Amino acid sequence: MTGAAKVLNGRCLCGAVTVTVQTENPRLRACHCDMCRRHTSGAFFSVDTMPGTLVVEGPATSFASSDWAERGFCGTCGSTLWYGTVHDGMRHLAAGLFDNAAGGELKLEFYADRCPSGYSLAGDHRRLNTEETIAMFTEVENNA
């Protein structure tokens, strides 16, 4: 991390769900897995935040999308709120909740080899293919 914590305030489309969280570096990550693309109709962009600082208010709910993950959404408007990992309780917040995607810069793509042929993300950032993504998440889960 790079410095003092910054408080981020975000909200869903209708404003019924609000989130407050802290970050030291609002790096952006994008995921092109089948579940993220079905959930968001494109890549899922998340903001790097500090664990244990998230406060969610309003009708937020989640869907167990697999044995290891959940997807959060607003119970009123359906806006995507987070991708959560079950093994550690982390919630990776949707960048769209925050103005200007919290001012973050894209640093990492997961499942880059599954990005649809109709678009690609520009820039000089790390791109993990399916095998590399699975290996990274398996390592993280095993160390939790």
Cβ(104)–Cβ(123) below 8 Å: no
Paired with 47 in beta bridges are 28
What is the chain's pLDDT, residue by residue, as a tens digit (144 residues)? 456 899 999 999 999 999 999 999 999 999 999 999 999 999 999 999 999 999 999 999 999 999 889 999 999 999 999 999 988 889 999 999 999 999 999 999 999 999 999 999 999 999 999 999 999 877 665 665
pLDDT at res. 1: 46
Q: How far apart are CA 32 and CA 105, in angstroms?
A: 17
How many Cβ atoms sit within 10 Å of the Cβ of residue 112?
A: 21
Output the CA–CA distances (angstroms, integers) from residue 120 to 31, 112, 114, in the order listed: 12, 9, 10
Tell me the pairing of strands 28-31 and 106-110.
parallel
Class of domain 6-143: mainly beta
Cβ(65)–Cβ(53) below 8 Å: no
* Three-point CA angle 135, 63, 30, nearest 5°: 45
Q: Residue 37 burial by CB count (10 A; 0-12/13-18/19+): exposed, middle or buried?
A: middle
**Residue 94 DSSP label:** B
Paired with 22 in beta bridges are 7
pLDDT at res. 37: 95
Q: Residue 71 burial by CB count (10 A; 0-12/13-18/19+): exposed, middle or buried?
A: buried
